[in-house]
Amino acid sequence: MDSFVSYPFAAHLRTVKRRLLIIGATILGWFALTFSFSAELMAWMNRPFRNQLAFYSPTEALFAAIKVSFLAAVILSLPVIFYQGWQLIAPALLPNERRWAVPLLCLAGGSFMLGVIFCNLVVLPLVINFFVSFGLDRDVTPQLSVGTYVDFNVKFLLIFGFAFELPLVMTLLSVAELIPAETFARYRKHAVLGALIISAVVTPDATVFTMLLMAVPLMLLYEIGIWGARLFGRRVKPPIDLPLDPDVPMGTAGTRIR
């Protein structure tokens, strides 16, 4: 009996291991390609600063190029990552639910890319120009370390990439009847406080400016998620209040048996 119970679990672990290996091999394959374009990737990431970066240790430039290349490899591997994750949960879904696989995968990947693009084109230039201008106004010459600069950018890009998945997650929770749109709307004030707390924790520096640049998009994404939950989610049906009949027997759950 124990072997019968453990066999499906062991088979599931083997499936998870195989799909993780596929994801890892895909990322490594893309990394081998993106690392050859690390100079172009560094130039793309250096656009908001527009000055020459410096490195203060022999390996700093190498590790910065590895981080940028690995980020690009992960982004390029997103279709495979989402597909393998979907294949893990697909056996537990109904046939009419599985047909949403391709649209959801495309939407999830597109949302992540939109967050990365928004961060690179809007948020990072504002943040970097704000801090660089602050130093220039005080006659301080900006000479940024390539390792610190890349870490700063990569953290922002990943944070905004995952943050843009929030409306999709909220909509799916409402479609699955786990959390209705009314509940999201009721806890809007708590979500605003949570966005401020999350922004203060995950942003690379603890300034009010960068915290607001993270918190305000989170609040807007939460509102978009509420709209998506209302459009595509299922409304909560009010309980039916039937008149009690003393001649009808009472069930074990406290309701009349009809």
| Percent above pLDDT 90 for the chain | 21
What residue numbers bound the domain in which 135 lies? 2-164
The SS3 of residue 93 is coil
- Is pLDDT at 246 greater than 60 in this prediction? no
Q: For the ranges 2-6, 35-39, 98-102, which has the lowest average pLDDT?
A: 2-6
- Is pLDDT at 29 greater than 90 in this prediction? yes
CB 27 within 8 A of CB 74: yes
| Percent above pLDDT 70 for the chain | 83
Q: What's the pLDDT band for 24 if we cut at 50, 70, 90? A: very high
In a domain, 185, yes or no: no
CB 49 within 8 A of CB 149: yes
- Is pLDDT at 141 greater than 80 in this prediction? no
In a domain, 92, yes or no: yes
In a domain, 74, yes or no: yes
- Is pLDDT at 50 greater than 80 in this prediction? no
Model-level pTM? 0.74
Please report, as a single letter, which amino acid is at residue 183. Answer: T
- CA 21/CA 88 separation, integer angstroms: 14
In a domain, 90, yes or no: yes
Q: What's the pLDDT band for 102 if we cut at 50, 70, 90? A: confident
Q: What is the mean pLDDT of the chain?
A: 81
In a domain, 235, yes or no: no
Residue 251: what pLDDT?
54
Number of domains present in the structure of the chain: 1
Q: In this predicted model, what pLDDT tens digit does every residue of 191-226 receive, in sequence order?
A: 999 988 888 887 766 678 878 888 899 999 999 999
In a domain, 65, yes or no: yes
In a domain, 202, yes or no: no
In a domain, 169, yes or no: no
